Structure 1
Amino acid sequence: MRNEACRLDYKKISRFISLILRHHPETIGISLDHHGWAKVGELITGINDTGKYHIDMPMLEEIVMNDNKQRYSFNSDKTKIRANQGHSINVDVELQEAIPPEILYHGTGEKSVCSICAEGLQPKSRLYVHLSKDIETAANVGSRHGKPVVFTVASGKMHRKGYRFYLSVNGVWLTKSVPVEFIQLQGKNRLQD
């Protein structure tokens, strides 16, 4: 029972760290550098000062190592930490441009279908549109937003037309936006090249 409680605390703490490192570092009185790095000592102290959670370095290392979405990275000497992607604040996480596969997928909730079909995929509050390499991952992402819906993205065609793609260290494909002509609701006729 204690192990289960620890896992739940780790999950809650991981979500809190995600909020801090992706969106609101000021929540605990810290700042991120230009590349999204926070000082580990300041992060731990800031979290502990909230009184909401108690965290130490071994716990933080375990959260980073065991996070199923690989949200976080340490620098080489573990004095800094950052979120790998998903920021709403303007940071440069030093993404490497990459050639995408021919097809990628975007999962969302059913309520977003009409706006996506009208406007394409937009980053909304984030810096990039997030794309998945397989339907299952996209459906899982979509399920966080209600009844899941998956769009097929003609990423190879986009790339050949000059759109840039980036691959985050945790395997998420990123691009600034996806115009309507490059998307199709999964299950409809396949996209043509």
Structure 2
Amino acid sequence: MMDKRLVKISKTLSMLLRHHPEKLGLVLDQYGRTDWKTLVRRFNAHYQMHLDRQVLQAIMAQSTKKRFALEGTTIRAVYGHSVPVMPLTPATEPPQWLYHGTSHQAATVIAKEGLLPMNRDFVHLSEDVATARQVGARHDTHPVIYRIAARDAAKNGILFYPTSSRVWLVSELPARFLHHLTSYFRRP
């Protein structure tokens, strides 16, 4: 588990690389990559915190979410962007089932409209129920968990993009491919 200092740096990096690169004048390429040395220099000057390659590697090694990737001279957020980026990996056939955790409030809309990216580029799907539950618990103490008929959706033309952190990205998903898991659906 990361110490508080690394968590704070990680959250700040997430904000910068996913949502507001302009805050430090960072330029992201079409895949969301930027020069890691430029990021470090500007981060340290702006936030008065110590960031270097070793700190980046410690965050990446200690985080269970695997939010960042250092690739040669660049760094990128692996998923979660609200700024437009292209998936780095090609569309791939997904597993039979994927999962999505959400709040009861959002579930009423999702049941009608399907999964939409809202203020992000992609919908995030998990490979297992436990991860989906953890994600959904950020929004609701007893989240709704949807099981996604991912392979069926792919056969119907929906593109799925895997990430190195076991999160799958999809631009949107019609409701017909969603099945809520009743064991998590009702509030106690």
Report the TM-score, using the length of structure 1 for normalisation: 0.88
Tell me what 2:15 maps to: 19
- Alignment counterpart, residue 173 of structure 2, candidates 149, 173, 178: 178
**Residue 163 of structure 1 pairs with residue 149 of structure 2:** no
- Structure 2: runs of 5 or more not aligned: 184-188
Mapped to 1, the partners of 2:88 and 2:54 lie a distance apart of 27
Within-5 A mapping of 1:74-153: 74-75=70-71, 77=72, 79-147=73-141, 148-153=143-148
Q: Secondary structure at the match of 2:100?
A: strand
The one-letter amino acid paired with 2:19 is: H
What is the aligned length?
Answer: 182
Report the TM-score, using the length of structure 2 for normalisation: 0.90
Deviation at 1:159, TM superposition (A): 1.2
**Residue 43 of structure 1 pairs with residue 39 of structure 2:** yes
Whether the 8 Å CA contact 1:96–1:168 is kept in 2: the answer is no
**Identity %, equivalent residues:** 36
Mapped to 2, the partners of 1:114 and 1:92 lie a distance apart of 29
Deviation at 1:53, TM superposition (A): 2.3
Q: Secondary structure at the match of 1:74?
A: strand
Moved more, 45-54 or 27-36: 45-54
Deviation at 1:95, TM superposition (A): 2.1
Deviation at 1:52, TM superposition (A): 4.6
After superposition, give the CA deviation of every residue in 1:132-160 in whole Å (9 maximum; x if it has no partner): 11111100000111221101111121111
Which stretches of structure 1, 4 residues or longer, exceed 6 Å deviation after superposition? none
Deviation at 1:168, TM superposition (A): 0.9
Q: Secondary structure at the match of 2:56?
A: helix
The one-letter amino acid paired with 2:165 is: N
Mapped to 2, the partners of 1:142 and 1:31 lie a distance apart of 31
Name the Cα RMSD after superposition: 1.7
Mapped to 2, the partners of 1:173 and 1:35 lie a distance apart of 16
After superposition, give the CA deviation of every residue in 1:60-109 in whole Å (9 maximum; x if it has no partner): 2211222211111111x3x2100111111112242221111221110112
After superposition, give the CA deviation of every residue in 1:36-63 in whole Å (9 maximum; x if it has no partner): 1111111111111223522222212211
Change (3 A) 1:23 1:112: same
Mapped to 2, the partners of 1:53 and 1:143 lie a distance apart of 30
Mapped to 2, the partners of 1:143 and 1:173 lie a distance apart of 19
